[in-house]
Amino acid sequence: MGDEVEREGEIREKLVATKEAWARDGRALTGETADPAVERLPPGQRLVQDWPVLDLGILPKVDTGNWALTVDGLVENPIRWTWEDFRAQPAFTHVSDIHCVTTWSRYDNHWEGVSAKHLLSVVRPKPEATHLLFHAYDGYTTNLPLSAFDDDDVLLASSWEGQPISRDHGGPVRVVVPKRYFWKSAKWVKRIEVLASDRRGYWEVRGYHNEAHPWAEERYSE
């Protein structure tokens, strides 16, 4: 067990160091911007047919039997949903594209889960709430303005292409925020913290852009 943990730590350190170097070097930056109403593919992206697996080198041991989602902070109704609670919510389906900061994009992904708008209607953020911080089972965090989460195409997804989302891709439940680079769509989500101000997450403090708009090519911090 100790050797496995040590190997995972070494893998994680190497992955993080590589991606920090990309940020320092401005890897893949084209200096271009585009209008998403005109150009479906953001600047510097290439289309793929598969779904590449990207993570921190650690696969948390979480499944539908031990998964739970907490939403707390500046909300009127804090919740802790088990898998059964999650499945009892109204089902939401949506088709959207993925744009990863590592330069690949995949069109027409079919998702099913619980819409962000429904979740927000349940927890009822307080008037002073402005931002969210997502926490994942592998220790990952990422931030998002509340207004960006409160969008028609955002969801907590449990299904992709008609099948349960695999553990590799963040199952049983991951966030999907199509209008941002995909690191904002936290895998293995376990907690959504509702805040009165912004708090940067794992990659945002390691050289990656705080907003992450693909068509503005907001890959890295200035």
pTM: 0.93
pLDDT, position 14: 82
Dist CA 147 CA 145 (whole Å) = 5
pLDDT, position 9: 64
DSSP code of residue 80: E
| Number of CB atoms found within 10 A of residue 52's CB | 12
* Distance from the Cα of residue 178 to its chain's centroid: 9
The total number of structural domains that make up the chain: 1
Dist CA 220 CA 185 (whole Å) = 17
Handedness of CA 57, 63, 67, 69 (dihedral sign): positive
pLDDT, position 12: 73
Residue 160 lies in a domain: yes
Residue 186 structural domain: 2-216
Tokens of 6: 């040590």
Residue 221 lies in a domain: no
Residue 2: pLDDT band with limits 50, 70, 90: low
Residue 222 lies in a domain: no
Helix (H) or strand (E) holding 103: none
Residue 114 lies in a domain: yes
Residue 187: pLDDT band with limits 50, 70, 90: very high
Give the domain CATH number at 78: 3.90.420.10
Percent of the chain with pLDDT over 90: 87
Q: In what order do the strands lie in the sheet with 131-136?
A: 79-82, 68-73, 189-195, 131-136, 141-145
Residue 212 lies in a domain: yes
Residue 81 lies in a domain: yes
Dist CA 19 CA 200 (whole Å) = 17
